[in-house]
Amino acid sequence: MAEKVVIIGSGPAAWTAALYLARAGLKPFVFSGFQSGGIPGGQLMITGEVENYPGFPMGITGRELMKSMEEQARRFGTRVTGEDVIDIDLSKRPFLVRGTSTNIDTHTVIIATGANAKRLDVKGSKELWNRGISACAVCDGALPIFRNKELVVVGGGDTACEEALFLTRFGSKVHLLVRKNEMRASKIMQDRVLTSSKIEVHFQHEIMEIVGKNMVEKLRLKDSGKNEERELPAGGLFYAIGHQPNTGFLKGQLPLDETGYIQVKPGSSYTSIEGVFAAGDVCDKRYRQAITAAGMGCMAALDAESFLSHKAL
Ligand code: NDP
């Protein structure tokens, strides 16, 4: 017999959807695997302290938060396999979700596989990850280690501008490194950055190496305009070079936007296929917060529940 609902993912969107559906008695089945390049538990597993998730006045680590969310979802009857989803067949009903060893027929699917922030592939990037390097200024910028330091943001898009502006509240100065001689960000964001007295924009600059013993201390840069190398002190480094949504396993089954994100009907979790819902960073390139992903997971659960009851499934 087909399942009522399968959830693919294991971040805040997936566990919140599972919690709501389990409490509604729908016994959701979760594939919490690696999701084509992601990590189980999602991006929170690679962040340190989470200070902006409401309800934890003293903060909580990303890992603890994900563990608690999973426990809460399981408590009400969520079933979980750690398997990866290899592919999915949405061309027939019930849908078929194929894991590495389990195949499941299901009337509805909630896709909550998240996205991964891209990281620079330079010397020091792996070694100093989470030691002064972050891919989310809004998540980590307020941490004490970044206070009153010279901070560096890499990227030339809207995210880079937004993060640089956000970091001016905490750092003594913010450097924005843009690899081309122009930014890709919207004009208004560029103007804000270029007129900020605390931000210095370095066009045509790329990072060659991130240097530091235990924490990021400085960067070795290439100034391709002048064709010379130089060093920049850095008390923190923030990547804002784009995200990659984990949608590879869909293999053309669901229309995606030009950057690979699932498109949902605004204000809902509806995708273009009835009975298939999406939640969290896999369909959100704008907010990308744990709390917004959790909220979207709740929306997807309510949408799936309503779909099932209308179809009397
Ligand atoms: P984008 O893909 O728009 O920009 C990524 C930036 O990173 C580009 O400037 C790119 O440079 C640069 N980059 C990529 N790889 C490297 C690298 N290896 N080294 C150095 N620089 C690199 O991503 P965003 O996250 O900024 O934005 C994604 C989408 O979300 C956009 O559509 C944006 O408009 C939207 N957004 C909207 C916001 C809002 O409305 N408030 C806020 C945030 C995002 P290059 O230009 O040279 O390719």
Q: Supply the angle between the helices 62-75 and 290-310 in degrees, to the nearest 10.
A: 20
Q: What contacts 180, CB < 8 A, 6 or more positions away?
A: 156, 203, 204
Q: Is 198 in the pocket of ligand 1 (CB under 6 A)?
A: no
Q: Supply the angle between the helices 12-23 and 62-75 in degrees, to the nearest 10.
A: 20
d(CA 171, ligand 1 centre) in Å: 22
* Position 231 pLDDT exceeds 80: yes
Using alpha carbons only, how large is the chain's radius of gyration in Å?
21
Question: Between 39 and 204, whose confidence is greater?
Answer: 204
Count the residues in the chain.
313
Residue 263 C-alpha from the chain's centroid? 16
Given ligand 1 and candidates 116, 120, 159, which is best to mutate, with the most ligand atoms within 8 Å of its CB?
A: 159
Q: How confident is the model at residue 44 (pLDDT cuts 50, 70, 90)?
A: confident
- Distance linking the first and last C-alpha atoms of the chain: 12
Q: Residue 166: enclosing H or E segment and its boundaries?
A: helix 158-167
Q: Is 70 in the pocket of ligand 1 (CB under 6 A)?
A: no
The partner residues of 29 in beta bridges, in order of sequence, read: 6, 79
**What is the token pair recorded at 188?**
């208004």
d(CA 291, ligand 1 centre) in Å: 22
Q: Is 179 in the pocket of ligand 1 (CB under 6 A)?
A: yes
Q: Is 285 in the pocket of ligand 1 (CB under 6 A)?
A: yes
Task: With H, G, I as helix, E, B as strand and everything else as coil, classify residue 200.
Answer: strand
Atom of ligand 1 nearest to the CA of 160: 26
Given ligand 1 and candidates 43, 180, 219, 241, which is best to mutate, with the most ligand atoms within 8 Å of its CB?
A: 241
* Position 211 pLDDT exceeds 70: yes
**What is the token pair recorded at 84?**
């990866």
Determine the Cα angle at 49 with ends 55 and 123, to 5°.
155
Q: Residue 309: enclosing H or E segment and its boundaries?
A: helix 290-310
pLDDT in tens, 253-299: 999 999 999 999 999 999 999 999 999 999 999 998 999 999 999 99
pLDDT in tens, 92-150: 999 999 999 999 999 999 999 999 889 999 999 999 999 999 998 988 899 999 999 99
**What is the token pair recorded at 278?**
């999406």
